[in-house]
Amino acid sequence: MSYILTEFGADVLSDVTTFCEREVLKQAAEADRNRIWPEEMYEKACEMGLGALSVPEEYGGLGLTLPERAAILEKMAWFDAGFAVSYMTNILSSIPVFYFGEHANRKSCYDLLLEGRFGAFCLTEDQAGSDISRLRTRAIREGEEYVINGSKMFVTNGRIAGYYVVFAETDAGLTAFYVTADTPGIEAGEEENKLGIRNSDTCEVSFQDVRVPYTAILGKEGEGRKIAVFCLQHARIFCGVTALGVAQRALDESISRVREREQFGSLLADNEVIQFKLADMYMKTEAARQCCISALNKAGAGEDCRLAAATAKCLAGDAAEYCASEAVQIFGGYGYCEDYPVEKLLRDAKIFQIFEGTNEIQRLTVGRTLVK
């Protein structure tokens, strides 16, 4: 089973692939190495209309299906995981607005994405990572407004966002708010010095006396936990397919390498030990892809996809890390050096076992569901 695409979806995938071949491949590697934000690459992506990828047709977007978005994200990640993560986060941050926001918030969010701005999802805090019951950001009601105070860690797209979805405690419990970046009191910190996905923007974002209208609430007051769980379970599937781009690239690079590299008088490709490595890489990637597709189908049919999404995200993240590590091994000493693409893949892969809920937490979710 592969991603089912309409003719239109296949055309968009082909355009995105051409764009990535031309603009992303070289710039991304250089920007990663020199730790330079690839502004030009994102400007061109914006001109090319990549902001419309996650926008529904009725709001001026491309109206792509879930499998089409997934296929495109996987392809983008094949070229550069950080680049794909920026757009993956647009999906994560637009889900709460789409499902729980008022029409005006939805329109504002999608207009910003169409302009080429990004969305950010602000949940994690310094004391609250896996355990969101420890969140300390607060929103106090004053008349028809809420005043938000607090600080969020590791916000993807934090400095380039046009809007933020912010989770804050209110008297009624955890609540999600839609906050545009031009609201006074928002400050994005310095870019984190990351191991990988350096072409995605990650920073702390603080909210000091940030005033938003009552209508900025997504869903109802006190529904924040339910909304976070709902959005993350859908977004985890996209996190999974993004990880698959890294896994597939690691496999493809390895196959090319062993077809050329000779040792002991024969090609590495003819060596069974190497073939077994490739076989394991392929099987883990393909198994994870099937789980992602199955989870996408469940999500698309409006079924409960919590178990399927946790399984897909965990398997795909593990496959990415496994394949990238094996690719470095297959390349030998060259794989350990920057001149070859696989060391970056290994650095990029690791994050997929950490963010959008660590893989330990995904295993807990799966295990708890099984014994319930």
Ligand X SMILES: Cc1cc2nc3c(=O)[nH]c(=O)nc-3n(C[C@H](O)[C@H](O)[C@H](O)COP(=O)(O)OP(=O)(O)OC[C@H]3O[C@@H](n4cnc5c(N)ncnc54)[C@H](O)[C@@H]3O)c2cc1C
> Active-site positions?
356
- Torsion angles phi and psi, residue 152, rounded to 5: -115, 140
Distances (CA, A) of 26 to 19, 105, 144, 320, 364: 12, 37, 50, 21, 39
Q: Which of residues 70-99 bind ligand X (CB under 6 A)?
A: 89
- Hey, what are 160's tokens? 């380039």
Which tokens in the block code for residue 48? 């090319």
In whole angstroms, how close is the CB of 154 to ligand X at the nearest point?
3
Smallest distance, ligand X to C-beta of residue 80, A:
14
- Beta carbons of 293 and 313 less than 8 angstroms apart: no
**Beta carbon nearer to ligand X, 61 or 357:** 357
Burial of 68 (0-12, 13-18, 19+ CB in 10 A): buried
Stretch that binds ligand X, among 34-42, 67-75, 282-290, 350-358 (CB under 6 A): 350-358
Nearest to 29 by CA among 343, 323, 351: 343
275 binds ligand X (CB under 6 A): no
* Least distance in angstroms from the C-beta of 227 to ligand X: 13
Residue number with the smallest Cβ distance to ligand X: 129
**Distance from the Cα of residue 325 to its chain's centroid:** 21
Stretch that binds ligand X, among 108-116, 255-263, 315-323, 352-360 (CB under 6 A): 352-360
Shortest distance in whole angstroms from residue 64 CB to ligand X: 22
Chain-centroid distance of CA 17 in Å reads: 18
The reply on whether position 362 binds ligand X by CB under 6 A is: no
**Dist CA 283 CA 291 (whole Å):** 12
The residues in 125-154 that bind ligand X, with binding defined as CB under 6 A, are 129-130, 154
Closer residue to ligand X in complex, CB, 54/156: 156
Stretch that binds ligand X, among 8-16, 115-123, 219-227, 262-270 (CB under 6 A): 115-123
Task: Based on the shown chain and the rule CB under 6 A, indicate whether residue 367 belongs to the binding site for ligand X.
Answer: no
Q: What are 195's two structure tokens?
A: 């191991």
Please give the distance of CA 328 from its chain centroid, rounded to a whole number. Answer: 24
Choices 60-68, 121-129, 238-246, 260-268 (CB under 6 A): range interacting with ligand X = 121-129
Angle CA(46)–CA(49)–CA(51) in degrees, nearest 5? 70
Please tell me whether residue 361 binds ligand X under the rule CB under 6 A: yes
Of the pair 34, 133, the CB lying nearest ligand X is at 133
* Distance between CA atoms of residues 104 and 126, nearest Å: 32
Q: For residues 185-224, which are near ligand X according to CB under 6 A?
A: 194, 197, 202
Q: Is 156 in the site for ligand X (CB under 6 A)?
A: yes
CB of 309 to ligand X, least distance (A): 15
- CA dist 361 and 351 (Å) reads 14
**Residues found near ligand X in the complex (CB under 6 A):** 89, 121-124, 129-130, 154-156, 194, 197, 202, 351, 354-358, 360-361, 364
